Each structure stands twice: as structure tokens, then as C-alpha cells.
């Protein structure tokens, strides 16, 4: 085989190797970027979960103390905890909410709706994912 033929084959091998390495690099970079977004989204979800639990604890404390007219001992109602901008009576601001959590809606159900005649309380955190 002449020397020029080997150089031509070697050129294709080098080009093929460069293409394979570039493709693998692109795939690995996309996986890393995707993992970063997924991690950020997971953190936002966990923050909203704990904000909802904080809302339930807040409602339990208000009902236990019975010192706030917005937290009635009877009836079913919903109160909303905002990071800022609460405008409806009974809703309140909590500036320590995480940046991803917009609001937490706390629903207090009628007496006797929970276990053994207690009141059921639920909370729903509304959060946004911003990449």
C-alpha cells in the first residue's frame, strides 16, 4: 500500500475520532445542564412542601391560641399566606417564604371533619420554577 493511501486513511480516522469526541462532549454537557435544571426544580418543590407544612403549623397555633378573630372556631374557611401583598381580610404576609413560593393556601375545615372529631387542616403551596 502506498504511503499516500495510509495518510488518507489516517486522516479519516482522526476526523472520525474528533467527531465522536465532539458528540460525546455535547451529550455530556446536555446531561449536566438537564441535571442542573432538575435539581433546581426539586429544590423549589421541597421548599414549597415545607412552606405548606409551616402553614399548617401556623394554623394549628392560631386555632390553639384562639386569640385572632380571623381564625374562627367554627365553619370552613381558607386563609392565604403571601410573601408580600396580602389584601383580603384574614390573609397575611410572611416575608420569610422562599423566593420560589408565591403563596400558601391554608384551608380549615368544619369541626368533626378530621380524625376522632378534630378539624381537618390542609395547605397547598403555589410555587414557580424559574430556571
Domain ranges of the chain: 3-127
pTM tops 0.75, yes or no: no
d(CA 81, CA 83) in angstroms, rounded, equals 7
Distances (CA, A) of 83 to 33, 98, 105: 30, 8, 12
Nearest to 55 by CA among 121, 128, 129: 121
Please name the residue that has the C-alpha cell 394554623.
59
Q: pLDDT tens for residues 2-53?
A: 666 677 788 899 999 999 999 999 999 999 999 988 998 999 999 999 999 9
Q: What is the pLDDT of residue 82?
A: 92
Extended strands (E) in 1-131: 77-82, 92-93, 101-108, 121-127
Three-state DSSP at 110 gives coil
Instruction: Look up residue 11 and give its three cell numbers.
Output: 486522516
> Which of the four pLDDT bands, split at 50, 70 and 90, describes residue 129?
confident
d(CA 9, CA 11) in angstroms, rounded, equals 5
- Give one word for 114, left, alpha or beta, with left for phi > 0 and alpha for psi -120 to 50: beta
Instruction: Look up residue 107 and give its three cell numbers.
Output: 384551608
Q: What is the pLDDT of residue 4?
A: 61
> Quick one: DSSP state of residue 90?
T
Amino acid at each position: 500500500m502506498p504511503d499516500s493511501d495510509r495518510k488518507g486513511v489516517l486522516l479519516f480516522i482522526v476526523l472520525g475520532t474528533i467527531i465522536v469526541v465532539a458528540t460525546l462532549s455535547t451529550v455530556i454537557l446536555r446531561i449536566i445542564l438537564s441535571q442542573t435544571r432538575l435539581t433546581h426544580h426539586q429544590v423549589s418543590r421541597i421548599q414549597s412542601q415545607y412552606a405548606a407544612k409551616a402553614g399548617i403549623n401556623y394554623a394549628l397555633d392560631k386555632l390553639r391560641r384562639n386569640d385572632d378573630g380571623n381564625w374562627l372556631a367554627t365553619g370552613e374557611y381558607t386563609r392565604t399566606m403571601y410573601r408580600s401583598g396580602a389584601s383580603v381580610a384574614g390573609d397575611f404576609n410572611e416575608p420569610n417564604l422562599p423566593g420560589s413560593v408565591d403563596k400558601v393556601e391554608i384551608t380549615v375545615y368544619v369541626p368533626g371533619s378530621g380524625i376522632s372529631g378534630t378539624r381537618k387542616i390542609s395547605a397547598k403551596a403555589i410555587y414557580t420554577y424559574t430556571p
